[in-house]
Every structure is written in C-alpha cells, then in structure tokens.
C-alpha cells in the first residue's frame, strides 16, 4: 500500500515538473497599440483571460509574452484587443509549443490578419 502511494505521489510531481510556461517575442506591426491578448484552442473561441500586462505594446514595439503552462495547448488562435477600442483581431492556427517570435500585421479596413513567425 505504501509503495503504491509513493508511486502516485512521484508521478504527480513528475507531471508538474513537465509543465513549463511558454515564452515568445510578440512584435506589434499593426497600426494600433495592443492592450490585450487571449488564446483559445484552435476554432473553439473559448478565450483565456488577458495574458498581457500593462503597459500597452505600441506600434513597432516588441515584448516577451509568457503563456502559463496551466492554459497552454499547442494549436491555438490568438485574439488581440487594441487600446483604441477598435474591434479585436484574430490570428488562427498557430503552434505555441514551437513559437519563438511572431510579428503581427492587421488591416482594419479589410479585417485581414497576417503574421511572420519563427518556430
């Protein structure tokens, strides 16, 4: 019995040791300051709380973004909220598990989002 309990406890600690936050560089190449970022598993639209901390990311600026391991799934959509209260924009089908740097582009008139990224 004691042996089984030890095995269970050790496996729980091993699982939590594998849970690691994901960090990547976000470059704002939209024409608007970014104030919020949420993630959702691809095509589910179940958005996480805002993962960005103040201040806003101004146009042309870059910032390291940390996604907590507790909310991490690999295949995600990213929703960006803008400081000017314009409509949010969504970038789809990104692999956060391999993402190291992403540069976001957004044409508000057409609603088209594009990105350059390094995995």
C-alpha closest to that of 90 among 60, 116, 62, 113: 113
With beta carbons less than 8 A apart as the criterion, state whether 34 and 89 touch. no
Give residue 95's pLDDT band: very low, low, confident or very high (50, 70, 90): very high
Structural domains of the chain sorted by starting position, each given as residue range(s) with its CATH number in brackets: 21-118 (2.60.40.2890)
Strands (DSSP E) contained in 12-70 are 22-28, 34-41, 62-67
Between CA 103 and CA 119 the distance in angstroms is 12
Both tokens of 117, joined, read 């990224």
In the predicted model, what is the mean pLDDT of residues 61-73?
88
Residue 6, pLDDT above cutoff 60: no
Residue 12 CB-half CA count within 13 A: 6
* Residue range 26-48, pLDDT digits in tens: 999 999 999 999 999 999 999 99
pTM over cut 0.75: yes
Query: Is the Cα torsion angle 55, 118, 74, 43 positive or negative in sign?
Result: positive
């Amino acid at each position: 019995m004691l042996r089984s309990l030890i095995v269970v406890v050790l496996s729980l600690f091993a699982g939590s040791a594998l849970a690691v936050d994901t960090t990547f560089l976000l470059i704002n190449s939209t024409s608007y300051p970014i104030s919020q970022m949420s993630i959702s598993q691809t095509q589910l639209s179940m958005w996480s709380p805002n993962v960005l901390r103040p201040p806003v990311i101004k146009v042309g600026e870059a910032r390291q973004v940390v996604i907590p391991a507790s909310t991490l799934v690999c295949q995600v959509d990213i929703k960006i909220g803008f400081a000017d209260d314009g409509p949010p924009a969504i970038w789809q089908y990104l692999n956060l598990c391999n993402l190291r740097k992403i540069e976001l582009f957004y044409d508000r008139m057409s609603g088209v989002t594009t990105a350059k990224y390094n995995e």
